[in-house]
Structure 1
Amino acid sequence: MRTITIKPTAITHNLNQVKKRAPHSKVLAMVKSNAYGHGVAAVLPALTQADGIGVATLIEALEARQLGWNKTIGLVEGAFTADEWQQAIDHEVSCVIHHVPQLEWALDNVPPAASATRVVWLKYNTGMNRLGFNAEGVIAAAKHLHAAGYQLILTTHFANADDITHPLNAVQIQRFKDMLATLKETVSNDVKGSLCNSAGVVNFSEHHYDWVRPGIILYGSAPVIDKSAQELDLQPAMSFSAQIIALQTVSANDAIGYSSRWIAQKDTETALVSIGYGDGYPRVVSEDAYVSVIDNTNNRSYPCAVLGRVAMDMIVIDVSAVPDNTSLLDSKVILWGDAPHVDEVAAHAHTISYELLCRLSMRPKRVQA
């Protein structure tokens, strides 16, 4: 059976690691893209100690409200239309404002004084060059918004926070610091700041400001390139598993799977596992990729290499090193979880854990530990 097991206790643990690293900041926990593939409904109860959640679309915000989330919701790309801005007001959603049309909607339709939408996240482009006003635009927008009665949180996004040595980090930090000081001096001393994502929480402890915005770190994946999840005391929030559905011996010089990519150098004991790219396991992985097989007879875990090309519904693994491998039918196979960690699988697929988690299909059964 294909199964995705979510561990809410791990998410709470990881949130507490963020709070320990940023004890003086509020936490906007990112649950966009269905909580990075973990499922918003499963994740929200584990985030009760967060000060708010962040989403990418209004549909995600409305789902969280329907599930009973009554704290801050930050719409991190803002409203896409004037109608969405009105819906944000109706549902007490706080929005990012990153370009002129959004600014105009906010000035033309000011929410009631007590509305959560009166708090806006003003996006400053400090070097990522995606969303955000330039320096002149931020100052002008801040003045207009403050005059209209809005409370402001200056925000930006790192381009390279995962690599603490990258020179653009210092540039972005200084630009943000200078702009926040300017807005406090020229607009209002009540302007707040939000600079750090998951990687920033780890790498830039002196620059956490009023709000931090953790995402992938909450789900147990390392957000920086020089430390593992284990070194950061993170727990994987998801275990992805399947079962062995067939066993066979592949003779020396025979090939396995599409493209005949893997050729046996000797007679090899193999197992067929009921998982593939149709479920979200990556189609192309390196020869270092492995899974963990849980032997039914002794409940021990054995690392087993993935052989050849991953198919839509199946993978083949080498079970030669498992004692009495003839009894492995129906045994559980861990694709990622404690071992291998999703970060390892991502490295074997030349991608990042975010992508693997977010592109999981709906075919695997979902349960909570």
Structure 2
Amino acid sequence: MPYRKLFSALMLLACLGVTSASLADSGNLTVVGAGGVLQDAERKAFFEPFAKSSGVSVTEDSYSGQMAKVRAMVASGSVSWDVMQVEQNTLLSGCAEGLFEELDWTRIGHQEDFIPEAYNECGVGAFVWSMVPSYDKSKLAEGPTNWADFWDIQKWPGKRGFRQTAKMTLEIALLADGVPATEVYDVLSTKGGQDRAFAKLDQIKPDIIWWTSGAESLERLASGDVVATATFNGRVSAANATGKNFALIWDGQVYGIDYWAIVKGSANRENAEKFIAFASSDAAQSVFPQYMAYGVTNKKAISSVKPELAKDLPTTEENLKTAVGLNTEFWADNGEALEARFATWRAQ
């Protein structure tokens, strides 16, 4: 192209507001979440605003926490997922296994702007969630108020819902058996403590229905398949916002953090980093609890959440009094053995 025509073309782009920086913002990104109402909330708070502000075309996918597909992608070098929402233990194991990229935090934000648990070399804390007991108040005038009550099959006959993992289920069993929240991992770190947790589960094993997704936990509660269930607090709040009347019980909540991570070999790494920086900003995070009652990790966002929303978040001071924080180091060290024992125990 002759210089004069090239110059004219560049001037036209400038007049239209199309700069080299905005051109670089275009492209594609595939973000993978956990589906259901949680991903609906992420779409409103993060995915759609990011796409609008950046010009990046965002495609969504979802998964149930299994990493087999990610391993296959990374091993084959054919990676179709870019950013994933992952739980703490998945982040730690995936980072060690080489399934996630190490982040350049200078592109994300300042570490001191986040709660300490939000920082990881392979991930940024997206939100804080908790596992809580719940029941349908439209069917029970008075239901369980803690995990010990949850085990009382005689007072509240019927099935109980649990997530099909050892993680959190064993902690819950110890809480139900009277172990103080502050001592749960001290007990669970011993062989006797692990035996105690499984023995407690034995008491109600015939009455347990296992679920594998948060949506399923409340679907079973709504249908009456279970009388009470362990479930995610944010899904309870979301269901109640649509007219359900599920109990939200904070006594004995077990809370953890989900993270944003970039799949190793992502072809859209630059856009992935831009998305994580956007979703980690105080502006974006402060909006998220409007759509899902999960705590946030950006300190400025925490302070700006409306009080009427903050009271139903896991990170509210009152709700933390009897809480157990998920110990990711414990599960990194013991998860494989305990999950194997758990699978064997369920099959017996």
Please indicate the TM-score interval, normalised by the length of the shorter structure.
under 0.3
Determine which structure has greater relative contact order: mean sequence separation of CA pairs < 8 Å that are 6+ residues apart, divided by chain length: 2
Higher Cα Rg: structure 1 or 2? 1
Q: TM-score, structure 2 length as denominator?
A: 0.25
Q: TM-score, structure 1 length as denominator?
A: 0.24
Q: Which has the higher helix share?
A: 2
